[in-house]
Copies of this chain bind each other. A is one copy, B any other.
Amino acid sequence: MSGFKVRTDLALEARENVEEGAEELRGVTVEETYDEESEVKVTRVVIESKNSAKLLGKPIGTYITLEAPAMAQPDEEYHKEISDELAKQLKNIIPGTEDEISVMVVGLGNRDVTADALGPNVVDNLTITRHMVKEFGKAAYGKNRIHMISGLIPGVMAKTGMESAEIIKGVVEKTRPDVVVVVDALAARSTKRLNRTIQVTNTGIHPGSGVGNHRNSITKESLGVPVIAIGVPTVVDAATIVNDAMEKALKNLPVETAKLQEELHGGMGELYNMYVTGKDVDYEIKQISHIICDALNRALEL
**A260–chain B nearest beta-carbon distance, Å:** 6
| A contacts with B, residue count (CB < 8 A) | 73
**A108–chain B nearest beta-carbon distance, Å:** 14
Q: Let me know if A112 is at the binding interface, CB within 8 A.
A: yes
**A192–chain B nearest beta-carbon distance, Å:** 7
What is the bound-complex CA distance between A243 and B251, given in angstroms? Answer: 16
By Cβ-Cβ distance, the 9 closest A-B pairs, closest first, are A130-B161, A170-B170, A170-B174, A150-B161, A112-B282, A249-B263, A248-B267, A128-B161, A170-B171
Q: B241 near A161 (CB under 8 angstroms)?
A: no
Name the B residues within 8 Å of A22 (CB-CB): none
Name the B residues within 8 Å of A149 (CB-CB): 161
Name the B residues within 8 Å of A162 (CB-CB): 130-131, 150, 152, 171, 175
Q: A158 near B170 (CB under 8 angstroms)?
A: no
Name the B residues within 8 Å of A255 (CB-CB): 250, 253-255
Interface residues of A in 219-254 (CB under 8 A from B): 238, 241-242, 245-246, 248-254
**A259–chain B nearest beta-carbon distance, Å:** 6
Contact string, A144-179, partner B, CB cutoff 8 A, digits 1/0?
000011111101011111110011011111110000
Q: A131 near B249 (CB under 8 angstroms)?
A: no
Provide a sorted-by-A list of 5 A–B residue pairs whose CB atoms are within 8 angstroms: A131-B158, A149-B161, A152-B162, A170-B171, A238-B241
Interface residues of A in 75-119 (CB under 8 A from B): 110, 112-114
**A223–chain B nearest beta-carbon distance, Å:** 12
Binds B, one of A41-49, A62-70, A270-278: A270-278
Name the B residues within 8 Å of A246 (CB-CB): 242, 245-246, 249
What is the bound-complex CA distance between A123 and B159, given in angstroms? Answer: 8
**A166–chain B nearest beta-carbon distance, Å:** 5
Q: B274 near A127 (CB under 8 angstroms)?
A: no
**Contact A245-B274, Cβ < 8 Å, known A150-B162, A283-B158:** no
What is the bound-complex CA distance between A158 and B191, given in angstroms? Answer: 22
Name the B residues within 8 Å of A127 (CB-CB): 74
Q: Let me know if A264 is at the binding interface, CB within 8 A.
A: yes
| Besides A74-B127, A191-B274, A274-B276, 20 new A-B residue pairs in contact (Cβ under 8 A), listed by A number | A114-B114, A123-B159, A128-B158, A131-B158, A131-B160, A132-B161, A149-B161, A152-B167, A166-B174, A170-B173, A191-B271, A211-B279, A238-B238, A245-B268, A250-B260, A250-B263, A253-B259, A254-B254, A254-B255, A274-B278
Q: Let me know if A129 is at the binding interface, CB within 8 A.
A: yes
What is the bound-complex CA distance between A114 and B234, given in angstroms? Answer: 14
Q: B160 near A150 (CB under 8 angstroms)?
A: yes
- Report which of B74, B113, B129, B249 forms a contact with A267, defined as CB distance below 8 A: B249
Q: A253 near B249 (CB under 8 angstroms)?
A: no
